[in-house]
Structure 1
Amino acid sequence: MPPLFRPLPRWPQASSTPGPRWRPLVPIGLAAIAAGLTLLLCTSKRPVDAGATLIPSTRSAPSRGLSALLRRHQAKPPTLTVPPPVIPQPLPPQQAWPAEAVVQAEPSFDDLNTSHWAWPLLADLAQRNLVSGFPDGTFRPGAAMTRAEFAAQLTHLFDFPPDRSLRPALVNYPDVKLDHWAYKSVQKTVSMGFLGGHPDGTFLPDQTVSRIQVIVALANGLTLKSSRAATEALAPYVDRDQVPIWAIRQLVAATDAGLVVNYPEINTLAPNRPASRAEVAAMLHRSLVYTGSLQTVPSPYIVEKARVDQVGPP
């Protein structure tokens, strides 16, 4: 009778030496790995609905599945760069809010117009509230100016510290009492070094100021200096012999600084003639140009050093 069960056939052996037992399982394992990779790739693809609308994106689609897992471990995290804080710096006042010159409309004086020889200089001062006329609407350009009026005009235009001069802070003039309308102006003008009293101790506030006194006062207050010889600097003035000895040094310095204004003849100084209001205002304008407070306004009556050198002695 044949047996109920037949013995299983044995695998052919390459050699008589028995091999490892796991070798027959290698093909099965490789097949299982291939099937797993195929399943993983198929499940990583996301189906798109037929009725869905695709919207273009600026970013690339995120990778999924095994590739995303590999990239996540291989890619280096981006470096976070934080910019330094920006602290706003305030601008200097002259750049943030530039100061505008106080310029009004063209001044209107009943006795002064564009035909006057000093109109360009006077108009520039009046437009900036540096000079003013009388309550009746006149300027009176030809009227003589007193020493008290000159002191008031100087204190209105200049504000130098008292230590610029070696003079005392207060000087008691018997003719300028505390209740005088120009008391403060006289005291400040003296302390700044522009004006001074007479040898007898008086100030003479109602005395008219001469042209050479105006020139000397401006040269002293602005501390003007010049190294030129008086014979050379004063040679163009036809009336140079009328200049007082005590005023020669200041006249030379004022001439070189361009402060002197001569009308109607530029070579005629007329040093001892009373200075008119227009002449005083014109030389005050030149003083402000010298200090850099105003721009130069052309005038044919300004005695400039270059122009005087060209004219030469008579």
Structure 2
Amino acid sequence: MRNKKFIWFTSVVVVLYFATISVFYQLPFKTGTTVFQDVDQSHWAAYDIEYMYDQGLMKGRDETVFNFYPEAVMTRAELVALMLRVDGADLAKLDQTATVKYTDIPSGHWSIPVLAEAEKRNLIPFKDVAQGKFQPDKPVTRGELSQGVVQSLHLQYSTLIDGIQPVNDIGGNLYEPAISTMLTNKYAKGYEDNTFRPNENASRATVASLFAKALRENRPETKTDANAKKKGGNQ
């Protein structure tokens, strides 16, 4: 009889405990999502986004880490910052007194130390900066993103080969060599209409996807698995 009372009492305590948790504690993201509450597990780039987060290379844009904004664009300055992280730089230790040659970056802009370090490492991917302007807040295009991946991972350029989905809109583009390299290595692919759309803005999800695929294959020491390229989405 005493054992039955003890079991009944224990059961009541357990029920009350979990009821209290459900009332007063709420997870920072909804069930069925990744670490980011706005990236569902079924999102085409979910695996790649979580990979970039796990590697400490990309995070959310809110005060907390739980919103990724996968369809938002990435700016040119943000891409260079990502390239530096991929190259092993600690952004917290950059020279805050550094200066840059670009005339359109206001004094005190957060990107100045980043761009100064990127200049030293030859990690400025944009072909138009010779004109003296950087346009730090301009959205990154898919062509520029391809250049950023190739340059930050120090990949060898390669031309399109047989068996790779052809694209008909990169001929003569400033970033054609980088795009061809991404396509040949299957780090990216074109759309169903055989276009790559190199001048179209790249979403944060696409940025995560292209970098993740290249990193898994070229940085085998990172956390990954043999089927990583197959698991991740592709654009």
TM-score range, shorter chain: 0.5 to 0.7
Matched, 1:194 2:123: yes
Match of 2:144 among 195, 213, 227: 213
Q: Name the residue aligned to 2:94.
A: none
Residues 255, 214 of structure 1: alpha-carbon distance in 2 compared, 3 angstrom cutoff: same
For residues 54-69 of structure 1, the aligned pairs below 5 Å read none
Match of 2:183 among 246, 255, 262: 255
Matched, 1:127 2:50: no
* Deviations, residues 151-176 of structure 1 (Å, cap 9, x unaligned): 1222222237xxxxxxxx97411123
- RMSD, aligned CA: 3.0
Cα distance in 1, alignment partners of residues 186 and 119 from structure 2 = 23
> Across the two proteins, how many residue pairs are aligned to each other?
186
Point out where structure 1 has 5 or more consecutive residues left out of the alignment: 1-105, 161-168, 304-314
- The one-letter amino acid paired with 2:231 is S
| Contact 2:48–2:232 under 8 Å retained in 1 | no
| Contact 2:86–2:153 under 8 Å retained in 1 | no
| Contact 2:100–2:115 under 8 Å retained in 1 | no
Cα distance in 2, alignment partners of residues 125 and 227 from structure 1 = 25
* Deviations, residues 203-230 of structure 1 (Å, cap 9, x unaligned): 11011110011102222333332454x5
Matched, 1:176 2:105: yes
Q: Following TM superposition, by how much is the alpha carbon of 1:200 offset from its aligned partner in structure 2, in angstroms? A: 1.5
2:231 partner SS: coil
- The one-letter amino acid paired with 1:274 is N
Q: Name the residue aligned to 1:142.
A: 71
Q: Name the residue aligned to 1:159.
A: 88
Match of 1:271 among 193, 198, 205: 198
Q: Following TM superposition, by how much is the alpha carbon of 1:139 offset from its aligned partner in structure 2, in angstroms? A: 0.9
Cα distance in 1, alignment partners of residues 164 and 36 from structure 2 = 38
- The one-letter amino acid paired with 1:299 is K
Moved more, 277-286 or 251-260: 251-260
Identical residues among aligned pairs (%): 25
Q: Name the residue aligned to 1:4.
A: none
| Contact 1:210–1:271 under 8 Å retained in 2 | yes
Q: Following TM superposition, by how much is the alpha carbon of 1:180 offset from its aligned partner in structure 2, in angstroms? A: 1.0
For residues 82-121 of structure 1, the aligned pairs below 5 Å read 107-121=34-48
| Contact 2:150–2:182 under 8 Å retained in 1 | yes
Q: Name the residue aligned to 2:214.
A: 287
- The one-letter amino acid paired with 1:253 is T
Residues 284, 265 of structure 1: alpha-carbon distance in 2 compared, 3 angstrom cutoff: same
| Contact 1:194–1:220 under 8 Å retained in 2 | yes
Match of 1:299 among 199, 212, 231: 231
1:148 partner SS: helix
- The one-letter amino acid paired with 2:196 is L
Q: Name the residue aligned to 1:18.
A: none
Residues 185, 258 of structure 1: alpha-carbon distance in 2 compared, 3 angstrom cutoff: farther
Q: Which has the higher contact order (CA 8 A, sep 6+)?
A: 2
Higher Cα radius of gyration:
1
TM-score by length of 2: 0.66
| Contact 1:243–1:271 under 8 Å retained in 2 | no
- The one-letter amino acid paired with 1:203 is F
Point out where structure 2 has 5 or more consecutive residues left out of the alignment: 1-32, 90-97
2:175 partner SS: helix
Q: Name the residue aligned to 1:246.
A: 174
Cα distance in 1, alignment partners of residues 122 and 171 from structure 2 = 21
| Contact 1:107–1:126 under 8 Å retained in 2 | no
Residues 243, 279 of structure 1: alpha-carbon distance in 2 compared, 3 angstrom cutoff: farther
Q: Following TM superposition, by how much is the alpha carbon of 1:285 offset from its aligned partner in structure 2, in angstroms? A: 1.0
